[in-house]
Homo-oligomer: A and B are copies of this chain.
Amino acid sequence: MATKTEIRRQELRDKLILIAERTIAQNGLSALRARDLAAEAGCAVGAIYNVFGDLTDLTLAVNARTFHRLGADVAEALAAAPEDPVEQLVVMAQAYHHFAASNHLSWRALFDVERPAGEAAPDWYLSEMGQLFTYISDPLAVIFPERGAEELGLLTRALFSSVHGIVLLGLDEASAGVSTDKIDHMIALVLRQFTASRK
């Protein structure tokens, strides 16, 4: 049975995640400061570090929630997509774009979180990302049945990165007032062209 201390610790943890999540969504990762978090949570600054090793750990906990929401959006888009695997890729990539546009700062935090140099993200975090990659590799395996597992893995990463680049630079221009109605078009263009040679 959980002790009173354990329960309180878990409550503070949940509270801090919710506060950090809102801070990141509204003002971005750079606005996350221990002193502000402590003030809003009604705890001492030291209590934060008692629950999370550092603010990066807290950010990873927020990012895990963002990955879950993103995954749910992509899954929903996939459920409504045509059976054609190319169209499935297009629909999911456009869902990725729309999620990024509607959750811009939270989405940026997924990639901007600072890790100590030479340190990879924790395993649970990488497996959360890996989950999203299977949405891409499944249709790719149907489109390119002759490719081996390793090449499919590389294709999956390359295609995800491509769509990410289109969305990232497109939304950057959006923040500078440039129209983004072409992002979906570019995504479809690249994915259809990429798969145009299949038998």
Contact surface of A with B, Cβ cutoff 8 Å: 111, 115, 117-121, 151, 154-155, 157-166, 168-170, 172-173, 175-178, 182, 185-187, 189-190, 193-197
Contacts and interface: CB of A to CB of B under 8 A. Distances in A.
A111 B108 CA distance: 13
Given A120-B176, A162-B162, 6 more contacts: A115-B175, A151-B189, A154-B189, A155-B193, A162-B163, A165-B165
Copies in the complex: 2
- Tell me the interface secondary structure of chain A in the complex: helix
B189 A158 contact: yes
Contacts of A178: 120
Given A196-B196, A197-B197, A166 B175 contact: no
Contact of A169 (B154, B155, B161, B175): B161
A109 to B, nearest CB: 14
B186 A158 contact: yes
Contact of A177 (B118, B162, B193): B118
A10 B165 CA distance: 38
22 contacts: A111-B169, A118-B177, A119-B177, A120-B173, A154-B189, A157-B182, A157-B186, A158-B189, A158-B190, A160-B169, A161-B162, A162-B165, A163-B165, A164-B168, A164-B169, A165-B166, A193-B194, A193-B195, A193-B197, A194-B194, A196-B197, A197-B197
